[in-house]
Amino acid sequence: QKKNESEGVIFLEEYDIRAKELQNRAVIAGWNYQTNLTEENAKKQVELNLEVAKFSKDVATDASEYDWENFSNFTVKRLFSMITTLGTAALEDEEKLEEYNNLLSEMEEIYSTGQACEYDDPETCLDLNPDLEDCMADSTDYNRLLFCWEGWRDAAGRRLADPYTKFVELSNEAVRADGWNDTGEYWRSWYETADFQQQLENIYQELQPLYQNLHAYVRRKLIDTYGAEMVNAEGPIPAHLLGNMWAQTWGNIYNLVIPFPNKPSIDVTDEMVRQGYDARRMFNLSDEFFREMGQIPMPDSFWERTMYTRPDDREVVCHASAWDFYLDNDVRIKMCTKVNQEDLVTVHHEMGHIEYFLQYAHQPLPFREGANPGFHEAVGDLLALSVSTPAHLNKVGLLPELVDDPEVDINFLMQMALEKIAFLPFGYLIDQWRWRVFNGDITPDKYNEEWWKLRTQYQGIVPPVPRNPDKDFDAGSKYHVPANTPYIRYFVSFVIQFQFHEAMCSLSGFSGELHKCDASAGAMKEIAGSRLAEMLRMGKSQPWPEAFEVLTGSRAMSAAAILQYFAPLIDWLEKQNENETLGWDNGWTPPYDC
C-alpha cells in the first residue's frame, strides 16, 4: 500500500530542509576546490559529491514509496518526478562513482593549469587566462597566433583525450542505471520538449544565411590583412585568425573589419582603462543596472565573498562561473576579470545567473533551476543588450554623445554581430558532437576527425596546421568539454535573449528599431522589470513555455527577434557581398609552412 498525497507533502517539506543543508556543504566544497586547486580540496569535493549521490539515491527510494504518479496536485507531482530522476547519481557501484568524480576533478585541474611554453625559452610559460587569450585577441602575426593556438591544444587538449574517453563510458553507464539511453538523452530531457532537436535545426537553418554573409564579409577583410594565399576567398577561414582561442566570438577582430573606419566605434575598453576601472567597479556598474531594471540588488555577502580577479598565490579555475549556496542568500561569482569590454559583458552574464538565484530562492530546492538551461544563460545577456547600446554607454559616461548616423549604426551592429551571430554555429555544434559521442555514433578514434568535420561544416573554419588523429583532442581545449558542462544552452540563450529583449522593450514603452532599445530608458521600465522578475521567480516550477509566456506572450523559440534586431546589417552585408562567394569549399586547407 503506497503512501498518500498528504503524507507526500510532509515528505517534501522534510526533504527540502535536508537537501538544502547537504547541497550547501557540497557547493562549499566545490567553491573551495575551484578557488584553490589542491589535492586535499579535490578529495573533499569528491567526498561531498559522493555523499550527495548517496542521498539522492536514498531519497529517490523513499519517494517511490508514495503513490505520486496518481497525486492530483501538479506541483507535488512535479517535485516527486524530479526527486526520483537521478541522472548520473544512479551509478550503483561506489568505486565507479568515485572514479567518475575523480576524473571530473582531474580534468578540471589539467585544463585550469595547462600552459604553453615559448619555443625559444622553455622557462617562459603562458597561462590560458590571461596570456594565451590576450595573444589570440591582440596579435595579428599569423605565426604568433599559430604558436598560441597550437600550444594550448598541445597543453590541454592532448592531455584530456584519455580521461575524457573513460569519463564518457562511466557517464553513460551511470545514466543508463536511471533508464536513459545515453548522457545526451538525459541532458536533452531538461528541455521537456519532444521535438527539441528538430526545433533547434529549424532555427539554425533560418539563421545560417546571416552567418554566411558575416563569414564572407569577415573573410574578405582577413584577406586584406593576411593575404590571399593564407585566406582563400572561397574557402574556410584558418581557425586562429578570428580573435578568439576557439573562434567562438569574433569581437576582438572588430578593428580589422570595421565597416566605416572614419566613424566612431563602440569599443569602451580604452575608456574603461582611462577612467581607472577595476573589476569591482565593473561589477558595481552591472549591479546598478539590475537595480535600475527593478531586480534584486546583490546582498552584502556577495561583495565580500566573490572572487573578482585571478589570485597570484594559488591555482584556481579561471573560467567564470556563478555560485548558489542555497542557504542564507549566499551567492557568489568566481571570475579572473580583465578590464575590457568583453569582460564587462561577461560580468553582466554572470550577474544574470546570480539574479536568477535570488529571484527563485523561495522555491523548493528542485525548482531552483532555470525554466530550461537556456533561460539561465540568457538573463545577464538580456540586460547587457540594453547596457551595450551607445545611448546607455553614453549615459554611464563610457562613450561620448553619438550623433544619429546610419553608418555609426552599422558599426554598432557589426560589433554586436561579431559577438552574437558569429557564435551561433559554435553554440550549435559543440553538443551536436557531444550527443553523438555519448550515443556511440562518434567513437574515440574518430573524436578529432568528426570534431573538425563539424567545425568546418558549421563555422566555415579550418585548422591552421594538420591535426594528428591519434594525439590531438581539440574538443578538450574548450572548457565545457572537460568540465562536462552542456553547451546547447548557449545556442538557446542567444536565440531567446532577443525574444526577451523584444518583449522587455515593448513592455517598457520603447518604440523604434530594436537594436537601439535600452529598456532602462523606457517610460514604463517598471512594468518590464516586474514582468521579468515574475518569470525568473518561477524557476523550474513549470515547463518552460509557461514561464516564457509570462514575459514574451509566446510559447516557442523563434529566430524572428534576432533577425529583426540585425535587419539593417543584413541589408548592408548583402550589398557588400554582391560579388562574394557565400559559404566555403570544405576541402580547402591553408599552406602549412607560412
Active site residues: 319-320, 349-350, 353, 377, 480, 490
- Per-residue HEC secondary structure of 427-479 comes to HHHHHHHHHHHHCCCCCHHHHHHHHHHHHHHHHCEECCCCCCCCCCCHHHHCC
Residue from 25, 332, 338, 349 that binds ligand KAW (CB under 6 A)? Answer: 349
Give which of Zn ion, ligand KAW, none residue 321 binds (C-beta under 5 to 8 Å, depending on kind). Answer: ligand KAW
What three-state secondary structure class fits 11? helix
H helical segments located in 264-299: 269-274, 279-292
Residue from 42, 132, 285, 345 that binds ligand KAW (CB under 6 A)? Answer: 345
**Do residues 79 and 364 touch, judged by C-beta distance below 8 A?**
yes
Residue from 83, 156, 216, 322 that binds ligand KAW (CB under 6 A)? Answer: 322
CB of 249 to ligand KAW, least distance (A): 5
* Site map (CB under 6 A) of ligand KAW, residues 219-258, x = contact: -----------------------------xx---------
Q: Which helix (H) or strand (E) holds 197?
A: helix 196-226
Regarding 506 and contact with ligand KAW (CB under 6 A), the answer is no
Distances (CA, A) of 100 to 21, 70, 84, 109, 385: 24, 35, 21, 15, 39
Regarding 350 and contact with ligand KAW (CB under 6 A), the answer is yes
Give which of Zn ion, ligand KAW, none residue 240 binds (C-beta under 5 to 8 Å, depending on kind). Answer: none
- 225 versus 485: smaller Cβ distance to ligand KAW: 485
Give which of Zn ion, ligand KAW, none residue 381 binds (C-beta under 5 to 8 Å, depending on kind). Answer: ligand KAW
* Site map (CB under 5 A) of Zn ion, residues 348-377, x = contact: -----------------------------x
Cell numbers at 214, concatenated: 558575416
Residue from 412, 490, 548, 572 that binds ligand KAW (CB under 6 A)? Answer: 490
Instruction: Please report where in the chains the cell 522555491 appears, as a residue.
Output: 363
- 254 versus 323: smaller Cβ distance to Zn ion: 323
Give which of ligand KAW, Zn ion, none residue 320 binds (C-beta under 5 to 8 Å, depending on kind). Answer: ligand KAW
Radius of gyration of the chain (CA): 24
Calculate the CA 114 to chain-centre distance: 21
Give which of Zn ion, ligand KAW, none residue 490 binds (C-beta under 5 to 8 Å, depending on kind). Answer: ligand KAW
Residues 377-396 within binding reach of Zn ion (CB under 5 A): 377
| Spatial separation of the C-alpha atoms in residues 536 and 538, rounded to whole Å | 5
CB of 306 to ligand KAW, least distance (A): 12
Burial code (b: 16+ CB inside 10 Å, e: under 16) for 70-97 equals ebeeeebbbbbeebbbbbbbbbeeeeeb
What three-state secondary structure class fits 488? helix
Name the nearest CA neighbour of 477 among 85, 37, 151.
151
- Which residues form the interface with Zn ion (CB under 5 A)? 377
- Which residues form the interface with ligand KAW (CB under 6 A)? 248-249, 319-322, 345, 349-350, 353, 376-377, 381, 483, 485, 490
